Structure 1
C-alpha cells in the first residue's frame, strides 16, 4: 500500500542518503551536505514555502519523495513551460524520486504517481491539470509517467535541474477527471 506524509526535519538524513545515490544524483544534481539539505527542504517542512514535500511510504516504509507544487506559485517556471505548452493558472506539477534503490524497476513509480495525482484532485480542487516536464534523456522517468497514464503533449528545451540531463524535455499532462 502506498501512502505518504509531509516530510519532516527528522527525515532529512534519509533524503540526504537518497540524493547521494547515483540513480538520483544524475537527475537531481543536489548538494548533499546536511546544511544544504536543511536549507533546501527546511522551508517547505516548516510551511514557509507554498509547495509540499511528501515522504512516500510502501507498506509503511519510506521509499520515495514527491514534491507537488502549483505553477502559480512559481511564475518564472510557469512562463518557461508556457513557451512549450498551455499551462493553466492553477495547474500543478510534481517532482518525484524513488530513493530506495531496491524499489526501482518494480512498478512502484507509476503506482506512486497515480496515487499522488488522484489525491491532487481532492487536495487542489481548482487544479485543472497536472503537467510534468522530464528530460528526454531520463527514459525511466518519462516511461513511468506514461505507465501512470499521463500523455506527452509537448517537447522542447527547458533549463535542466541537472547539467547532465540536457535541455531537451518532454512535457506530460493529465487532466482532472470528469
Structure 2
C-alpha cells in the first residue's frame, strides 16, 4: 500500500451496535465527569494509567474528537452507561509502529468503569458486539485489534471468549501487551 492510500483512510467510525447496546461519541461537556470518575477507579487506573485531573481529560477528549486518530465513546447496556472505549486506526496509533497492519485496521481500548459491573460477562458480550459493529461500520476493515496488558488476564480471557485470537506479545513503551485480533469472518 502506498502512503497516499494510508492517508486517505477516514477517521474511525462509530460502531453499529444493536440493543441492548448503544454507543455515542463522548462529549467533553456531558461525559467528562463520568469518564474522569471511571478513570480514577483502581481497577481501571491499574492498566490505563490515566487517573488524570478533569482538565487533562477535557483536553484529551477535545484532541481526540478533533483528529482522525481515535474516537472516544461511551457505551451503554440497557440504557445504563457501562464503558469508556477508544476506537483507533492502527496505522495512526503507536501500535502501528510495532505490528503489521492494513490501512483500515481498527483497534479498541476498553474500560468498564464501575467495578461491580465487571466479572459478569458484560465485557465479553460488549467486545464481541463491538468487533462486529466496527466491521459493519467500515466494510473495508478486515480486522479489529486490541493490546491488553499481558498482566491483565481477565481482559485477555474476555477478548478470547469474545472471539479474538491471542497473538504475540508486543513490547510497547509503557507495557508488554498481548496482541488480540478479531478477523472478519469469510462466507463459506
Please, what TM-score do these two structures have when normalized by structure 2? Answer: 0.82
Return the alpha-carbon distance in structure 2 between the equivalents of residues 136 and 116 of structure 1. Answer: 21
Aligned to 1:158: 172
Deviation at 1:92, TM superposition (A): 0.9
Match of 2:96 among 66, 78, 81: 78
Aligned to 1:54: 73
Please, what TM-score do these two structures have when normalized by structure 1? Answer: 0.87
Name the SS of the counterpart of 1:144 in structure 2: helix
Return the alpha-carbon distance in structure 1 between the equivalents of residues 184 and 75 of structure 2. Answer: 22
Aligned-pair Cα RMSD in Å: 1.4
Name the SS of the counterpart of 2:107 in structure 1: strand
- 1:35 equivalent to 2:55? Answer yes
CA contact (8 A) 2:45 2:51 kept: no
User: How has the CA–CA distance of structure 1 residues 20 and 31 changed in structure 2, closer, same or farther, with 3 Å as cutoff?
Assistant: closer
Deviation at 1:169, TM superposition (A): 2.0
Unaligned runs of 5+ in 2: 1-19
Residues 131-162 of structure 1 deviation map (CA, whole Å, 9 limit, x = unaligned): 211211011111110111101121242222xx
Return the alpha-carbon distance in structure 2 between the equivalents of residues 92 and 30 of structure 1. Answer: 22
Farther-moved stretch of structure 1 (16-25 vs 34-43)? 34-43
Aligned to 1:164: none
Give structure 1 regions of 4+ aligned residues with deviation exceeding 3 angstroms: none
Q: Map 1:91-170 onto structure 2 (within 5 A).
A: 91-160=105-174, 167-170=175-178
User: How has the CA–CA distance of structure 1 residues 156 and 71 changed in structure 2, closer, same or farther, with 3 Å as cutoff?
Assistant: closer
- 1:21 equivalent to 2:41? Answer yes
Unaligned runs of 5+ in 1: 161-166
CA contact (8 A) 1:93 1:130 kept: yes
Count of aligned pairs: 165
Return the alpha-carbon distance in structure 1 between the equivalents of residues 170 and 77 of structure 2. Answer: 34
